[in-house]
Amino acid sequence: MSAEESLLELGRLVRTAGGYIVGSTAQRRMHLDPATYIGSGKVEEIVASREEADYSTVVFDDALSPTQQFNLEKALGVKVLDRSALILDIFASRARTREASLQVELAQHEYLMPRLRGQWEHLDRLDGAIGSRGPGETQLETDRRLIGARIVRLKKQIKQVSQQRALQRSRRQRQGLPVVALVGYTNAGKSSLMRALSGADVLAADAVFATLDPVTRRVGSGDAEAFLLTDTVGFMQKLPTQLLSAFRATLEELHTADLLLHVIDGTASAVEAQRVTVEETLAGLGLGDTPVLAVVNKIDGMVLDGRSVEREADLDALAALNPLELPGEVRYTSATTGLGIDALRRRLLYEFFGATTASTATLASS
């Protein structure tokens, strides 16, 4: 993903978090500044632009060290965030269940722990002042102990949730139904696709990280010819490591899948970079050997021969053209208009039950 595309994505994250963009800037450097990440000249440039831009927060696209964040806030005189902090804030606003809240809180505490020193550095600068250095260090250590104890409690609670989910998975496995899991870049349309395939009333929104909790629904044409479809949190480049670690209990749902549906936004400008990000994330989660079927979604927003994609015949044309140059088998859908949904459902049933069920599904959906 290019620097320009990454900044555009960062802007969308800022808007999702409730902010608005008043300006942006970029810098190319051979080496990052260990003190401020960017060079002193760029720092002065950002400071000078404040009168005109009137900004109250500066968000960096890459991860900042605790020292860099502290030095930048001191130099700029405003709150400084990096992409990790911004994503954690969005996850906190999206958490609706106890499980999601626990996982987000754990990630936030693990992110905050190494940054506590900067919270109390103003006391260290008061040399000679009565009641300064000692209480400051005492408060710092107190905060570290409190947060450390909270992290331990959260991990225990998340482990309990993980055990409960394991029991639910074992019950589903005893039913003998195959499991298909939806994966993809955030806002690729996974939840919309799940709603279209299963007919279930699940949350589908045009927003990043709209779904945090796993949702499983049954899809099929009969009692025996059915599979379970699971949706979970979407991926994104530069996801905080604390977040992936905290959400492992949720992402464990993917490990029981017989097939992964990699949902790709056919209208995304950085579609190839998004595809690679998802594949690298899956590999990092130990899912590199699980079978994957690519599904290009939002094809109603794509252009074929100078017109929008809106007919069943267009599906064959897209498959022949393979406009995104994706490897292996690719399916094309529009969860919004329903185009390609029946064909995808038949393909999935054929994957597990063969030609007889696929034919039955064709008749049932015609």
* 102-161 confidence digits (pLDDT tens): 888 998 998 888 887 655 454 444 444 444 444 455 667 778 888 889 999 999 998 888
Q: Tens digit of pLDDT for each residue in 236-291? A: 999 888 888 777 767 877 888 999 999 999 999 899 999 999 999 999 889 988 99
Residue 340 identity: G
Domain ranges of the chain: 3-18+29-90, 95-154, 176-365
Q: Is residue 207 over pLDDT 70?
A: no
Q: Determine the average pLDDT of the residues in 355-362.
A: 50
Q: Which residues face 330 on adjacent strands?
A: 294
Binned at pLDDT 50, 70 and 90, residue 173 comes out as low
Note the maximum CA span of the chain: 85
Q: Which CATH number fits domain 3-18+29-90: 3.40.50.1220, 3.30.390.50, 3.40.50.11060, 3.40.220.10?
A: 3.40.50.11060
Least confident of 28-42, 68-82, 126-140: 126-140
Instruction: Provide the pairing of β-strand 307-308 with 330-332.
Output: unpaired
Give the 3-state secondary structure of residue 224.
coil
* Rg of the chain in Å (alpha carbons): 24
**Three-state secondary structure of 309-352:** CCCHHHHHHHHHHCCCCCCCCEEECCCCCCCCHHHHHHHHHHHH
Proportion of the chain above pLDDT 70, given as a percent: 85
For strand 226-231 and strand 215-220, is the pairing parallel, antiparallel, or unpaired?
antiparallel
Q: Are 203 and 152 in contact (CB under 8 A)?
A: no
Q: Is residue 216's pLDDT more than 90? A: no
Q: Which residues neighbour 133 within 8 Å (Cβ) at sequence distance 6 or greater?
A: 123, 124, 126, 127
**Confidence bin at 365 (pLDDT 50/70/90):** very low
Per-residue model confidence (pLDDT) at position 355: 63
Q: Measured between alpha carbons, how far apart are the two ends of the chain, in Å?
A: 41
CATH of 176-365, one of 3.40.640.10, 3.40.50.300, 3.30.830.10, 3.30.420.10: 3.40.50.300
| pLDDT tier for residue 224 given thresholds of 50, 70 and 90 | low
Output the six-digit token pair for 57. 């927060």
Same topology, domains 3-18+29-90 and 176-365? Answer is yes
Helix (H, G, I), strand (E, B) or coil at 75: helix
pTM assigned to the model: 0.83
Instruction: Name the DSSP class of 38.
Output: S
Q: Are the CB atoms for 65 and 14 separated by under 8 Å? A: no
CA angle 117, 118, 124 (to 5 degrees): 80
Please state, as a whole number, how many other Cβ atoms lie within 10 Å of the Cβ of residue 139. Answer: 14
**Range with the lowest mean pLDDT among 44-48, 159-163, 210-214, 286-290?**
210-214
Q: What is the rounded CA–CA span in Å between residue 300 and residue 341?
A: 13
Of the ranges 42-46, 174-178, 220-224, which one carries the lowest mean pLDDT score? 220-224
Is residue 312 within 8 Å of 300, Cβ to Cβ? no
Q: How far apart are CA 135 and CA 115, in angstroms?
A: 18
